[in-house]
Structure 1
Amino acid sequence: MSAEAFVAAYGGVYEHSPWVAEAAAAQGLTQTDDNPDALAARMAAAVEAAGAERQLELLRLHPELVGKLKTGEQLTADSQREQASARLDQCSPEEFARFQALNETYNARFGFPFIIAVTGLSRRDILDAFEARALNSVEAEFRTALDQVHRIARIRIGALANG
């Protein structure tokens, strides 16, 4: 696959960040990249090498959970599908209010939205994780958020490989 085709196919794996796929392609693509785990690790390494400022930018490009689903703002197709899979589009008024309050508190404390790979989780699982992680130190939560971004990317790479 050419670098251009690779970026076209995998540029959305990291939310609004085609630079990650561009960095992986710039290193040269090999048959090893046909393995989703190997490709995910290589793309994650590009993010890890990018430095804290670029990583923070990446975190800030992720949508808040539930917020945009209810307000009609546009999510990427992947984010919309992932949030819907956890039935975040079906929150009760109480759940919606709780997500909004947590989003506000979390963003004020950490400077980026709460990020979790929602695939396979229930709304309750997500709210429980949200409440627990809001108590983390800034450093611990930055690392956890990056790890979750890598997990989301791995899920998306697997979907593309199987798609």
Structure 2
Amino acid sequence: MDKTAFIARFGGIFEHSPFIAERAIDAHPDLSLTAEAVHGAMVAAFRAASHAEKLGVLRAHPDLAGRLAIAGDLTEDSKAEQASAGLDRLTADEHARFTALNDAYTSRFGFPFIIAVKGLGKDDILAAFEARIGNDADTEFQTALAQVEKIARLRLTALLP
């Protein structure tokens, strides 16, 4: 697959961050198109990114059940992921709780709460939210990076063998 096609196909794996796909294919022009190989190359590119670039990737993620979801402005991947966890069917009280946690978390850490929601329900996500909001900044930054890598793996597994 040539570079342009690779970026077109995989540029959204890391939310709104096609530079990850570009760097992965630049480093591995003969990359095997398996989920494992592409994920490995993209994670290597992500981990080699600067702190500011990683922060940009984190900030590119939407709030869970947040304003973008309400406005219908999520990427298709994010919309499907949030819907699979029931975040598109919250009660008014649940939505208020998510909004309060989103605001507190973003204020504390400078990026939205990120969790790979596949296989989780809204109660699982709220419990993780409440547990992680007490983390120190470095621990939470590292946790969010790991969750981004997990989301990328899940997205690639859905696309590739």
Same fold at TM > 0.5: yes
- Counterpart Cα distance in 1 of 2:119 and 2:81: 9
Show the counterpart of 1:9: 9
Partner residue, 2:59:
60
Q: What does 1:1-163 align with in structure 2 at a 5 Å threshold? A: 1-31=1-31, 33-68=32-67, 71-161=70-160
CA apart distance, 1:28:
2.9
- Cα root mean square deviation, aligned: 1.2
- The separation in 1 between residues aligned to 2:105 and 2:153, in whole angstroms, is 25
2: CA distance between counterparts of 1:116 and 1:28? 28
Native 8 Å contact 2:62 2:68 kept in 1: no
Separation (CA, whole Å) in 1 of partners of 2:23 and 2:65: 31
Please, what TM-score do these two structures have when normalized by structure 1?
0.94
- Relative to 1, partners in 2 of residues 1:70 and 1:23: Cα closer, same or farther, differing over 3 Å? closer
Q: Unaligned stretches of 5+ in structure 2?
A: none
Distance 1:117 1:133, change over 3 A: same
TM value normalised by structure 2: 0.95
Name the % identity: 50
Distance 1:86 1:120 in 2: 7
Per-residue CA distance 1:37-58 (angstroms, 9 max, x = gap): 2221210110110121110011
Regions of 4+ moved over 3 Å? none
Matched length: 161
Q: Provide the rounded CA distance (Å) in 2 between the counterparts of 1:57 and 1:153.
A: 16
